[in-house]
Chain A
Amino acid sequence: MIEYKLGHFEEIVLLTVCVLYENAYGISIKDEIESRIGKRVSVGALQSALRRMEGKGYLESKEGEETNERGGRRKRYFTITTHGKNALKETKDLRMKLWEEIPSAILS
């Protein structure tokens, strides 16, 4: 039974937030994901995923410094919560388990 719900895109976003550590805000996350999966990510899709996961309690956010290039608006930095980490771990565990049980004949 899976306790945590995590979609594919959400998982990628969550992992990226972890990778970026203290520098995870809207645009940096977008850039990171785009460079890794090589596909364009819209601001809308990303923001709604971030907000959704914040709502679920996987992410926390706090406001950062003002910058000029953002028209004087603050960046919002995201960090993962314990709950989020658990969700990631569980997803990973589930996958590892499944991987391990794949008969070797298939993989060869």
Chain B
Amino acid sequence: MKKIGDWILYLFCCKEYYSDIRGDLEELYSRRIASSSKIEASFKYFVAVVMLMRPSLLKSSRFLNNMNTSMTNQYIKASYRNLLKHKFNSAINVFGLSVGIAAAILLYGYVRFEQSYDKGYDKAESIYRVTCHSKFGDRIRNGITGSGMLAPTLETEISEIKLAGRRYYFGQPVIQNGENKFRQSSVYYADVNLTQILEYEYLQGDAKTALLTPNSIVLSKTTAAKIFEGEVNVVGQNLVVNQVLMQVTGVIEDVPLNNNFVPNMLVSMSTMTDISWDRMGTITYVLIEDDVSPNRIDEKMLEMVDRLKLGSPEEDFSVWFDLYPIADIHLSPDANQEGRGSLSMVYALSLIAVFIILIASINYMNLATARSSQRAKEIGVRKVIGAVRRQISYQFLMESILISVISVAIGGFLAFLFQDAFVQMTGVASTIDFLNVDIFLKLAALAVVIGLIAGSYPAIILSSFRPVLVLNGLHVDKGSMGLRRVLVVFQFMISIVLIISTIVVYNQINFLLNKDLGFNEEAVFVVRLGKADPSGLLKQEYLQHPNIKSVAATNLMPATGDSGATFSIRNESGEVSKDNVSMATIDNDYLDLMEIELIKGKTFADDNGTNSNSIIVNEALVSKYGWKEPLGQYISTSMEDDGSPMEKFVIVGIVKDFNMLSLYNTIQPFAFFKKPQFDWGGQYLFIKLGEGDLVKTVTFIQEKFELFDEKSLFSGRFLDVHLESIYQQEQKTAKIFFVFAALTITIACLGLFGLAAYTLERRIKEISIRKVLGANLNDIIKLVSIEFLIIILVSSVVASPLAYFFMGKWLSNFSYHVDVSLLTILMGAFVALLIAMFTISVQALRTAKSNPATTLKCE
């Protein structure tokens, strides 16, 4: 506050008096600080500075001296009267601009928020996350997860690393506080170093010791309030987490949403007993010395890997690490970094924001120059009286700034109103603080800039009129018509690109949701089990219900990520290679229930009990190894030195390819294992329902579940709903494109509406004469529409390749995607044409219906 005051004083106060006045103020300030609070003193200081703004003490500025104040008043008055006189035009301009500005403000908020991720730390530039790379045979794995041993090793081995902290995903445990049970999300194991690196602020408990002892929990403020229902002091309380007793040792301030890692609950890392170099899944963060470059650390980590022999050349296994700046994670284009933001979306939305404002500004330019002949006389008279060109320009700039100031005020208000809706639509909590002084300064600057941009062209054109010509009525504005057309083409080009993009995004989503996945997800209800059910008791219970057709057990929830393992596989020509195979364990009923088609061999049900090492694979695996006779081939966990397999899994059946991961990826080699083969972990029961009452059936499922397992929390959902939710991001993108495409086309059409009205007004006599001579309504509408029709057609031609290029790029993210077909492009152009023609025809019809007698009589 005081600083701003100083700055204002320095800027505006007359140099001669500055020093003593500043001295007086400082003296008062220091006296006030002694007697009252600093804030109050600063505030009074600021008020005093503002009160100092009187002409006798201000700097005599060249601007103020040269500005003829009475003339400026005159300009403002004339601008104001012009606005009121042409209400229709002004309304189009103000409406278009304010909607555009509101959209731009919201988009700006979004972009700013996306860019603000992980920038809030005091030492943001010294915090890095470790990326782990490993190479095992042909298989290279890059990712953020690694061993839990890494952090402590880095801290002791590399002196430039001040702190190394780690976290490990806990899952979604069931938490029990007395009688109340919750399923808690965003729970992580973490150590003390992590909370120090990420600068977590403890509200309760001790930052240094809270996460030391096993079974300690630190909660975020909101989570603590949720679990303990508003109890103030929660440190020392006990909670049962997944049936283990743990103690709350601290509460931290909620982590801001613009952080990449937002935990609700932290469990001390020491609770994990099996940390080793072989156990992956830990994410490591480091804080390095301020003046050390991350490349230096990368080198040192390479040396460290050699020194500690972390790799193993004999097994063709190597590892290496590098640092990634925490502030770059969110918008990282590198998929391995798992940034959840989308840089291309940020670019796309910034572009849209700029274009929307441009389109609205073009409306102003076009309408202002189109009306030029009406104002030509005014300009002529002004010039004759003695106005120089600069003064005329000034008048027009003033008008456009006036319009943009009004629009910014309305636009700011609109943005405020629609903020919540926008946040819901994008799913990004990008709230704009409208109480901030900063935002007002920015908006004011925006108003002036837009005013200058929109006003500059009319100002240049209109101020160049020659008084002799215009006053003789000889002025014809031919030159600017061409440019107006170009500008309209530009507006419609942008609108059409957005319309086509919207259609493509919707097409793609429809395609994803309707694509045949190779299995039937309809009417499948999935229940997550809390405890093992080896003998299938619950399954038998469920099968009693008349509306339940079949029940199957598996460990794979489709589209929740890859759960593969490495196997040694011998191909048709006898070479052995190591490869990743995605896998799921299933019981006998699974393939039937999911309607996955068997094309060769037999199912586990047919194979009943004979061999627990049988597997069923998909076509992709068979074709990858080129087996001519796939049945009887095997894959194995690893090979002995002499080449004999450790544990063999023999292929008994082959199923048609199906897609269980996500349509971002192509179909990978896949194998089904028999149920008891691998660790029991996160088991799911898939329940196929009949046509009967869904609600009753689901209630039945829940009741039986709770009887079977009293400790766990029931959680179930429909498979098709789950699959749809994967493409949530795409659905949001579609909505955003739809809304902004609609906005741009609306604003562009507003301009077209005004332009058409004006053009037709000028041609009214021509049209009337044509009517007198016998032209009918159709002829006239054709006559006036053809010009605009051509404009839209040209825009479509320009827009198509652009849309094709951009959407082609977006679609290339998906392995399975629609193409940007000619039909899509034509459809986009057609929609634009339809809307534009509708806009024009309203005006055209009015003109065409006018009575020639009234329009022609006054001459």
For B21, list chain A residues within 8 Å (CB). 26, 43, 47
Within the assembled complex, what's the spacing in Å between the Cα atoms of A56 and B27? 27
Interface pair B19/A73, CB less than 8 Å apart: yes
The answer to whether B51 and A44 have CB atoms under 8 Å apart is yes
Please determine whether B48 and A43 come into contact, CB atoms closer than 8 angstroms.
yes
Q: Are A74 and B27 within 8 A (Cβ)?
A: no
Q: Does B546 contact A (CB under 8 A)?
A: no
Taking a contact as CB atoms under 8 Å apart, the answer to whether A27 and B57 are in contact is no
Residues 56-80 of A contacting B (Cβ, < 8 Å) = 67, 69-71, 73-76
B53 contacts which chain A residues (CB < 8 A)? Answer: 44
Q: Mark A33-46, 1 if CB is under 8 A from B, else 0.
A: 00000000011110
By a CB distance below 8 angstroms, the chain B residues around A76 are 20, 23
Taken together as a complex, chains A and B put the C-alpha atoms of A13 and B254 apart, in Å, by 57
Q: State which residues 74-104 of A face B: CB under 8 Å.
A: 74-76
Residues A26 and B24 in contact, CB atoms below 8 Å apart = yes
Verify B24–A71 contact, CB threshold 8 A: no
Given A52-B56, A70-B27, is A44 in contact with B19 using a C-beta cutoff of 8 Å?
no
Q: What is the CA–CA distance of A78 and B20 in the complex, to the nearest angstrom?
A: 12
Considering only residues 43-92 of chain B, those with a C-beta below 8 Å from chain A are 48, 51-54, 56-57
In the assembled complex, which residues on chain B have CB atoms less than 8 Å from the CB atom of A52? 56
SS of B interface (majority): helix
In the assembled complex, which residues on chain A have CB atoms less than 8 Å from the CB atom of B48? Answer: 42-44
Nearest CB to that of B56 among chain A residues?
A48
Is B819 among interface residues, defined by CB-CB distance under 8 A?
A: no
Residue numbers in A under 8 Å from B17 (CB-CB) = 47, 51
Flag if B56 contacts A27 (CB, 8 Å): no
Smallest beta-carbon distance B41→chain A, Å: 13
Residues of A in contact with B, size category: 20 to 34
A69 touches B20 (CB 8 A): no
Nearest opposing residue in chain A for B24, CB measure? A26
Contacts of A74 in B (CB 8 A): 19-20, 23
> In the complex, which residues of chain B have a beta carbon less than 8 angstroms from the beta carbon of A43?
21, 24-25, 28, 48, 51-52
- Judge whether B30 is part of the interface by a CB distance below 8 angstroms: yes
B interface size (C-beta, 8 A)? 20
A48 to B14, CA, bound (A): 11
Interface string of B9-24 (1 = CB under 8 A from A): 0000000010111111
Question: Is B206 engaged at the interface, CB distance under 8 Å to the other chain?
Answer: no
| B157 proximal to A (CB < 8 A) | no
Given A44-B51, A74-B20 in contact, is the A69-B26 Cβ separation under 8 Å?
yes
**Chain B residues with Cβ under 8 A from A26's Cβ?**
20-21, 23-24, 27
**Contacting pair A70 B23 (CB below 8 A):** yes
Shortest CB distance A24–B (Å) = 13
Closest CB of chain B to A29's CB: distance in Å? 10
Are A69 and B27 within 8 A (Cβ)? Answer: yes
Chain A CB within 10 Å — which of B23, B53, B57 has the most?
B23
Query: A73 touching B20 by the CB < 8 A rule?
Result: yes
Instruction: Considering the complex, give the chain B residue whose CB is closest to the CB of A70.
Output: B23
User: Is B26 touching A51 in the complex (CB atoms < 8 A)?
Assistant: no
C-alpha gap A51/B21 in the complex (Å): 11
Interfacial chain A residues near B30, Cβ < 8 Å = 69-70
Assess whether A47 is in contact with B23, with CB atoms less than 8 Å apart. no
**A48 to B24 Cα, complex, angstroms:** 13
* Contact pick for A73, options B23, B54, B57, CB 8 Å: B23
Least CB distance, B57 to chain A, in whole angstroms: 5
Tell whether, in the assembled complex, residue B52 and residue A47 are in contact, meaning their CB atoms are under 8 Å apart.
yes
> With the chains together, A73 CA to B6 CA distance in Å?
14
Residues of A within 8 A of B54 (CB): 44-45, 48
In B94-125, the 8 Å CB interface with A consists of none
Contact between B57 and A51 (Cβ–Cβ < 8 Å)? yes
Cα A43 to Cα B26 with chains together (Å): 11
Question: A4-37 toward B: CB 8 Å interface, digit per residue (1/0)?
Answer: 0000000000000000000001110010000000
How far apart are B49's CB and chain A's nearest CB, in angstroms? 9
- The docked-state distance in angstroms from the alpha carbon of A51 to that of B24 is 14
**Are A48's CB and B26's CB within 8 A?**
no
Q: Roughly how many angstroms separate A47 CA and B26 CA in the complex, as a whole number?
A: 14
Min Cβ gap B28→A in Å is 6
Q: A70 touches which one: B26, B51, B52 (CB < 8 A)?
A: B26
CA distance A30 to B20 in the complex (A): 14
Point out the residues of chain A lying under 8 angstroms from B20, CB to CB.
25-26, 47, 73-76
If A47-B17, A69-B27, A73-B22 touch, whether A42 touches B57 (CB-CB below 8 Å) is: no
Residues of A within 8 Å of B23, CB to CB, are: 26, 70-71, 73-76
CA distance A74 to B56 in the complex (A): 21
Q: Determine the residue in chain A with the shortest Cβ distance to B52.
A: A44
Separation of A47 and B19 alpha carbons in the complex (Å): 12
In the complex, chain B residues 435-488 whose Cβ is within 8 Å of any chain A Cβ: none
Is B28 in contact with A27, judged by CB distance below 8 angstroms? yes
Once bound together, how far apart are the Cα atoms of A74 and B23, in whole Å? 7
Beyond A43-B52, A69-B30, A71-B22, 4 additional pairs, beta carbon < 8 A: A25-B20, A26-B21, A42-B48, A74-B20
Interface residues of B (CB under 8 A from A): 17, 19-28, 30-31, 48, 51-54, 56-57
**Could you name 13 residue pairs across A and B whose Cβ atoms are closer than 8 Å?**
A25-B20, A25-B24, A26-B27, A43-B24, A43-B51, A44-B53, A47-B17, A52-B56, A71-B22, A73-B20, A73-B22, A74-B20, A76-B23
